[in-house]
Amino acid sequence: MAAFEALVLAYEWPVYNIALRMLGSVQDAEDAVQEVFIKVYGSLASFRGDSKFSVWLYRIAGNVCVDFLRKRRIATVSLSSCDDAGGEYELEVCDESMSPEKVLDEHEQSAALQKALNKLPERYRSVLLLREIAGSSYEDIALTLGLDIGTVKSRIFRARKKLCKILTDDGNFCEFLPSDKSEGGEQA
């Protein structure tokens, strides 16, 4: 267990931060990072060393995050109500307690960034976070996500372009620019 703890110490920070930005919730990120390492420990025997350990680990982390997002999508609250004819029907609404903005808004800039990341499609968010937080190379991201390098390159480009646009549309982009550039107004 001591050797495994050394691996946890090496990777817990990027895995936590990727989960935090993928899921937008501190609680979900804490749960996800625990689940990632439970899965990693349970599957260590199946790691054959064909790929880098980090590639294998981030693939597990990505799958766990996708599972969390999927569970969240189906986390709805059913409300019984009556229609005009007196018949009962079910109304499904999103469970607001799962909303990322509710949890991760302690810092304005961080909240703006998270809000924008939440609007990015998952396929763009995952490649961008692997690049920006884990510092993975395009080749490693391609191996992690089962894509070719060209797709990784174009997804990262599109992710950045969309993120700039979302931040600009939300009126938050100036916060992220150096002060001498932000006076210029609209960006990207």
Partner 1 sequence: MSECDKIQALISAMLDGELGEDERRQVTGHIAHCDECAQLYESFAAVSRAIGEETRDMPAGLHDKIMTAVDVADKQRRLRRLNHNVRHFVGAAACLAVAVGAILAVRGHMMMGSSKSADAAPRAANYSAESTGTCDDAAQFSVEGIYSPAEVPAEGDEKSVLDQAAPEATDEPDAPVPEPDEAPLGSENELVTLNASDLKAKEIGYGSAQEERKISADLGAAESDYRIYLVEDDGSAVMCEIYLMDDEVWVLPDGGEPYLAELSAGEFIELIG
User: From the CB of 34, what's the least distance to partner 1, in Å?
Assistant: 4
Indicate whether 137 belongs to the interface with partner 1 (CB under 8 A): yes
> Residue 143 in 3-state DSSP?
helix
Q: Are 124 and 155 in contact (CB under 8 A)?
A: yes
Q: Which range, of 49-57, 73-81, 94-102, 175-183, touches partner 1 by CB under 8 A?
A: 175-183
Indicate whether 44 belongs to the interface with partner 1 (CB under 8 A): no
Q: 81-110 mask for partner 1 (x: CB under 8 A)?
A: --------------------------x-xx
- Closest to 15 measured CA to CA, from 134, 187, 96: 134
Indicate whether 22 belongs to the interface with partner 1 (CB under 8 A): no
Indicate whether 127 belongs to the interface with partner 1 (CB under 8 A): no
Indicate whether 8 belongs to the interface with partner 1 (CB under 8 A): yes
Which residue type occupies 181? K
Number of residues engaging partner 1 in binding (CB under 8 A): 48
Residues contributing to the site for partner 1 (CB under 8 A): 1, 4-5, 8-9, 12-13, 16-17, 20-21, 26, 30-31, 33-35, 37-38, 41-42, 107, 109-110, 113, 128-129, 131-133, 137-138, 153-154, 156-157, 160-161, 163-164, 167, 173, 176-178, 181, 187-188
